[in-house]
Structure 1
Amino acid sequence: MGFFSRLFQPRADGQPVTDDWTSLPDSQASELVLMDEEAVRLMAEFDIDSAIASHERWLPWLSQALQGVHDERLRPEVVRDDSCSELGQWLHGNGRIALGHFPAFDMLMRRNRYFHQQAAMMLLHAEAGEMQLAEQAFKGCQHASRQVLLLLKELKRGLAASRRRPATLNRA
């Protein structure tokens, strides 16, 4: 039973997920389970591989800024907004509609938001010449980015497994 796959189960009581991630939800689920129709629709409207590739480009881009390469598009006030990226736009729109009821979706939202906050802080510190603080914020970006990528890859794996299963097994 995988760590992330256990998180992709909706709460039975319909209540929002707490901010406390020190314990896992009670669930015997072995993976993200969506109905076949839902998996097909979600895969059609969102290219997870593209989102992963797009998110992976952020760290080298931020690293260049940390090394002093100026890019006008990397403004702290823009980067801080977690909906400024393709992934963020999907998470705030169709992603929330399709997957917002899964506890791990909120975790993915929070990790993406934290990534953008750390990136903005890194840029602010770098602009101010506070390189030690900028490097510390960049490490926060790296950590959050790895978590975002793990969650996206787990989502992809679960969706692919859902598509391979007969519909009658998904309804169990």
Structure 2
Amino acid sequence: MGFFSRLFQPRPDGQPVADDWTSLPDSQASELVVMGDEAAKLLAEFDIDTAIASHERWVPWLSQVLQGARDEQLRPEIIRDDSCSELGQWLHGNGRIALGHFPAYDMLLRRHRYFHQQAAMMVLHAEAGESQLAEQAFKGCQHASRQVVLLLKELKRGLGGRSARSRTPASPVGSR
């Protein structure tokens, strides 16, 4: 059983998971499996493949800024808000309702928030001409992005590998 699979085990008492990630669920934990109507409802309102593709567009976009490109959509005060993207909007809304009782939901939310914090710092440092600090923040973005994608793929696997509708937003930053 994989590392992420064990993290998608809900607490038996339904209480939120502690912020302390020093211990993992017991070795008898099963992977996240959402069945029947619950899975269909989740997939009808959220397309995991689109979320992954949209999130993966951030890193090349940020890389261009790191290399000196200027993009007016990439304003640090907007980027820092992890609900500025389509994924963030879902995580803070219907995603919390659907998956908030799973320990990995909190991990996904925190990794997504960290990604946005690092992206905002990277843009600030790049705009200030602090290339070394910008590069360091960019590496944090890359790492957090990989973790977000892995958690989304694990969620998809737990839903039976299905995906819903196909939408492709024009840019990583969602509606504001």
| Deviation readout 1:88-139 (Å, 9 max, x if unpaired) | 0000011001001100000000000000000000011111111100000000
Contact 1:2 1:30 in 2 (8 A): no
Where do residues 15-26 of structure 1 align in structure 2 (5 Å cutoff)?
15-26=15-26
Higher helix share: 1
AA in 2 matched with 1:49: D
SS in 1 for 2:160: helix
AA in 2 matched with 1:4: F
| Aligned-pair CA distance for 1:27 | 5.1
- Name the CA shift for 1:27/1:14 in 2 (closer, same or farther; >3 Å): farther
Where do residues 6-155 of structure 1 align in structure 2 (5 Å cutoff)?
6-26=6-26, 28-155=28-155
Q: Percent identity?
A: 85
Q: Which one has a bigger Cα radius of gyration?
A: 1
User: Aligned residue for 1:170?
Assistant: none
Contact 1:80 1:120 in 2 (8 A): yes
- Measured on the aligned residues, the alpha-carbon RMSD in Å equals 1.6
| Aligned-pair CA distance for 1:9 | 1.3
User: Aligned residue for 1:168?
Assistant: none
| Aligned-pair CA distance for 1:35 | 2.5
| Deviation readout 1:55-108 (Å, 9 max, x if unpaired) | 000000000011110000000000000000010000001100100110000000
AA in 2 matched with 1:91: L
Contact 1:9 1:27 in 2 (8 A): no
1:161 and 1:150 map into 2 onto residues whose CA distance is 13
SS in 2 for 1:160: coil
AA in 1 matched with 2:75: R
Give runs of ≥4 in structure 1 deviating > 4 Å. none
| Deviation readout 1:139-159 (Å, 9 max, x if unpaired) | 000000000000000000110
SS in 1 for 2:12: coil
Contact 1:115 1:140 in 2 (8 A): yes
TM-score normalized by structure 2? 0.88
TM-score normalized by structure 1? 0.90
1:98 and 1:28 map into 2 onto residues whose CA distance is 23
Contact 1:100 1:106 in 2 (8 A): yes
AA in 2 matched with 1:149: V
Contact 2:9 2:29 in 1 (8 A): yes
| Deviation readout 1:19-56 (Å, 9 max, x if unpaired) | 22222112523321222111111111110000000000
